[in-house]
Structure 1
Amino acid sequence: MSEPLSVRAAARERGDCDALIDEDGDAISWRALEAQVDERIAMLAAHGVDGHDPAARIAVVGSPTRAHIVDVLAAIEIGAPLVMLHPRWTDAERDVVIDESAPRVVLPSQTEAHVGHEPPRPREGAIDPARTLAVLYTSGTTGKAKGALLARRAFLASARASAVNLPLTPSDRWLLCMPIAHVGGLSVVVRSLIARSTIVLAGPFDETRTRDAIERRGVTLVSLVPTMLARLLDAGFVRPATLRTILLGGAACPERLLMRAVEADLPLRTTYGLTEACSQVTTARSDVRSLAEGAGHPLPGTGVRIGARGTIEVRGPTMFDGWLGQVVSPFDHDGWYDTGDLGELDARGRLHVLARRTDLIVSGGENVYPAEVEAALERIDGVRAACVFGVPDDRWGQIVAAAIVVDERAPDDATIARALSRVLARFKRPRRIARLPSLVVAGSGKLDRRATADAATPLLRALEVHDG
């Protein structure tokens, strides 16, 4: 095969074969996709972005749509680093990322007036595999979003390692129903390009739409988080003969949900991954039939160990190159990266994830860091202090809850909901709230989050998730 990360190469090899099945069920061939990508490349060139400057980044909204996939593939084709913008971010959240990453172009709005330019000639020579393919933002434990630098070589290594357990062929059809601002969603696009297989689109996840797409469009693979799986089963999903694998990750799978999937004879493969490792770190080698199988074995070439603090440490060729704008290496002297997640390896080498990063809330597959939500709450007039934590929820896995301490200005719940709607994505906003006279402080002087949550839980009441 020629250049794996090239739509033009794929079009030469696969021609009229299907590259995309769009939201309306229409097929787009590799040759037609190449034409759309070339048009987008011409638009980028009109804005001075031709891929020769590795600092000339392109920001793209990460919705799972044909237009945004074309944006992504155009950037990959010319070697321009992507900055992925989550489609559910507020304007304030998006502005922070754009200010820090300083993209040369933000797609699609800045390029709409430039249809008709001739595409530049293909560049001579291969693009350096060490060049950044994407900057993916993930919130840190401080609550501040950080941009993980993921090189082209990391995506290639991740695809090769994944293919050992889960070979991908040109005849496969992979349903994309999660944002491509997530490493899992972007990996579907990149791996399908490498394998010259077909991406099937059904829009943002909706259980009915997704079920129908899997059943009617010959889908062979789909990546889901547990919340999506639960909603599919609730919608009466029955496995079609074409479906060979459901990759399940993003959060722990409740035992009750796993048993439902097993009873429905669904071909589940559990995974554990993170943005910094370019998606998967471990994957089950066969269909999962019990929780005893955990998150599976490390991918070939990926090292996994449990550190002195009981946290999962990872190294290997899929790892990121550090954080945008930070010069301090996140790796130790032997190349190990401490994920902060708690876990253990069993006698058969399978990883069991005991808890995600300290304080992390995983709601419907979305990561929510309490510090970010607490900061937003404490910016509201009358809120003196806040403690944010997760509470179990059958549908979402966890939902966000908050304990607050107020002063004499004491904002009502509606005021709090409106204020949060302006600065936080919907999935980050508390759905339960309690008011306490004070937060619990540990002997060290730091907030005792667990004790505060215990005190607040009996007092929690519903908080409207305001839409602005």
Structure 2
Amino acid sequence: MRARPGGARRAVRPAPDPRPPRRPSRSPRPRARGGDPVPDGLSVRAAAREAGARLALIAPGLRATWRELAERAAEEAAALRRRGADPELPFPVTVRADAESVVLLLALIEEGITAVPLDARWTESERSAALARLAPPPPLEGDPHDPERPLAIVFTSGTSARPKAVVLSRRAFAAAAAASASVLGWREDDRWLLCLSPARIGGLAVLTRCLAARRPVVVSPRFEPEGFARIVSEERITLVSLVPAMLAELLRRLPAWRPPRHLRAVLLGGASAGEDLLDEARRRGVPVAPCYGASETCAHVTLALPGAAAGCGPPLPGVEVAVRDGRLCVRGPVLFSGYADAGRIAGGPDAAGWWETGDVGRIDSAGCVHVTGRADETIVSGGENVSPAAVERVLRGHPAIRDALVAGVPDERWGQVVGALIVTEGPPPARPALDAWLRARLSGAARPRRWRVVDALPLTREGKPDRRQAARLLADPAPPESGQ
């Protein structure tokens, strides 16, 4: 890929200062084992020196300052050394959104040991498949606190393909935290609610952003709408990261809920959010901030502040986003180093520093990024390319359909046909009437040929639509309440 992907629109913003977004004290910087200062703000010991008395972690039954959190992390680090943790080897740990996992991850970051966070909800087979990517382990050489050393290896969600082991450096985490802060900003009273698993980049990046900014993280091990609303109110949460399925459940289960005034941004990423969901959230006063990113970009690289931008917003400072052949490409210091697989790290950005995301999208005249789907999810029916996301948007516009998930179904004549799982507001619409409604809005290849009415769409554990499971359900030769 060329430095300027062929003839396409490109958006770029100047890089932010990579230091933490607050003036540090004159306390000495934390030092690596070789005696050199740690080159970034990702140190709980430094946070204890600079903001020791400030609140750092809020969890059920626990309120810890940065000084107290550093002490807990030091104890955990000693336990890790007794367990044989080695900076030369990646260290798998099972984590969830709780205080124990926060302390464990901060200890690994402080020691310069590459964390491999594994979701506590995974089955044994899922865990084994993930760890198989690291057998033998990739090479980890040099100073444990070198900016290019891996801080973590995180696994992609794998909604349409086998999960990949993404290698992310300290440089990527520090740059991502600084870029996000330069747009979102930090206030003295900010508290970020962590209700995403820190085994995924969306959750882990919340922790590193708060560490870099010396701001408290509030953990909620299990997302549940009533509990979420209570924590946001009682703990005066100002920032939270959600995926669209979480927001949709919150609005559906709590129709009378309105966010408190202190909640200033709900970052919405992980999957494309439908316009109906965004409109309903805004109508109820939710300060939604759609963003775009991936594990490979160390979380979001664009951000649309509430009421300030279209789509997923413009790129963060220091990040370039371009479109080549319809696909979004990213360049900047936030990018990953490569994928860990079979004892090596490979497949990172190209020689010009660009990474092709595999997402289909566009950049508008204001420089805002719009994501329309995944290139690898395209359905090819009779030689025609069909975007599942585009069909889903049309289906959600039908008055009787609350939600939809589209996938390709193998077909002897057409290669694939479009299939759709639908969730209805009441009785399912009559098939002839629905066909007539769709005929006015979709081409022949894009119109669903197989249907299944379900109570809820299949989701991954991260709350993303599970298109692979949808395809399996739709491939059933005679699914209940289906049309052919």
Question: CA deviation digits over 1:85-133, x for unaligned, max 9?
Answer: 12332110101222332599xxxxxxxxxxxxxxxxxxxx981111101
Question: Are the equivalent residues in 2 in contact too, given 1:179–1:204 (CA < 8 A)?
Answer: no
Please state how far the C-alpha of 1:433 moved relative to its aligned partner: 2.4
Pairs within 5 Å for 1:64-213? 64-102=97-135, 127-138=145-156, 143-169=161-187, 171-213=189-231
- What is the CA deviation profile of residues 266-308 of structure 1, one whole-angstrom value per residue up to 9, with x for unaligned ones? 2221101111000112111x3137xx8111001111111100x
- Write the letter of the residue equivalent to 2:473: I
d(CA) in 1 for partners of 2:272, 2:474: 27
- Describe the shift of the 1:95–1:387 C-alpha distance in structure 2 as closer, same or farther (beyond 3 A): farther
Residues 247 and 390 from structure 1, CA distance in 2 versus in 1: closer, same or farther, beyond 3 angstroms?
farther
Query: For structure 2, which runs of at least 5 residues remain unmatched after alignment?
Result: 1-23, 31-40, 138-142, 379-387, 393-404, 411-415, 426-447, 451-460
Q: In the alignment, which residue of structure 2 is the partner of 1:215?
A: 233
CA–CA distance in structure 2, aligned partners of residues 392 and 354 of structure 1 = 20
The corresponding residue for 1:259 is 279
TM-score, normalization: structure 1?
0.72
2:469 match: 430
Q: Decide whether aligned partners of structure 1 residues 426 and 94 sit closer, same or farther in structure 2, where only a CA change above 3 A counts.
A: farther
Aligned pairs for 1:238-253 (under 5 A) are 238-253=258-273
Cα separation, 1, equivalents of 2:355 and 2:48: 38
In the other structure, the counterpart of 1:303 is 320
> What residue identity is the alignment partner of 2:206?
V
Summarize deviations over 1:294-330 as a string: whole Å, max 9, x none.
11001111111100x2000111100000100255434
Matched with 1:22 is 59
Q: State the distance in 2 between where 1:240 and 1:277 align.
A: 31
| C-alpha distance in structure 2 between counterparts of 1:436 and 1:391, whole Å | 12
- The residue aligned with 1:410 is none
Deviations 1:305-357 (A, max 9, x none): 100x2000111100000100255434333221111110011111111111134
Percentage of matched positions with identical amino acids:
37
* Residue of 299, 317, 328 corresponding to 2:333: 317
Q: Which amino acid aligns with 2:288?
A: L
Q: In 1, Cα distance between the equivalents of 2:475 and 2:171?
A: 49
Aligned residues of 1:137 and 1:146 also touching (Cα < 8 A): yes
Who is 1:465 aligned against?
none
Q: Mark the CA change 1:197 to 1:358 in structure 2 (over 3 Å): closer, same or farther.
A: same
Closer, same or farther: CA 77–433 of 1 in aligned 2, 3 Å: same
Letter of the structure 1 residue corresponding to residue 482 of structure 2 = L
Residue identity in the other structure for 1:298: P
Q: Which amino acid aligns with 2:312?
A: A
Give SS of 1:232's match. helix
Q: Sort the Cα spacing of 1:196 and 1:324 in 2 relative to 1 into closer, same or farther, 3 A.
A: same
Q: How does 1:357-436 map to 2 (within 5 A)?
A: 357-359=375-377, 391=421, 393=423, 430=469, 433-434=473-474
Conserved? CA contact 1:282–1:299, under 8 Å: yes
| Correspondence for 1:42 | 78
Change (3 A) 1:458 1:233: closer
Consecutive unaligned residues of structure 1, counting only runs of 5 or more, are: 105-124, 375-385, 396-400, 404-423, 438-454, 462-468
**1:216 CA displacement:** 0.7
Task: Pick closer, same or farther for the CA change 1:87–1:209 going to 2, 3 Å.
Answer: same
Post-superposition Cα deviations, 1:162-217, rounded to whole Å, max 9, x if no partner, equal 11111124531000111111111100000100101001122221111111000110
Structure 2 CA distance for aligned equivalents of residues 243 and 356 of structure 1? 32
Query: Cα gap change, 1:142/1:176 in structure 2, threshold over 3 Å: closer, same or farther?
Result: closer
Report deviation, 1:34.
Answer: 1.4
SS at match of 1:145: coil
Matches of 2:424 and 2:118, distance apart in 1: 29
Classify 1:294/1:337 alpha carbon distance in 2 versus 1 (closer, same or farther; 3 Å). same
Could you list the per-position Cα deviations for residues 420-444 of structure 1 after superposition, in whole angstroms to 9, with x for gaps in the alignment? xxxx99985836724566xxxxxxx
Cα 1:160–1:394 shift into 2, 3 Å = farther
Measured in 1, the distance between the counterparts of 2:274 and 2:164 equals 29
Q: 1:184 to 1:317 in 2, by over 3 A?
A: same
- The aligned residue for residue 446 of structure 1 is none
Secondary structure of 2:376's counterpart equals: coil
Q: Aligned pair count?
A: 379
Give the TM-score normalised by structure 2.
Answer: 0.70
Structure 1 residues 460 and 5, CA, compared in 2 at 3 Å: closer, same or farther? farther
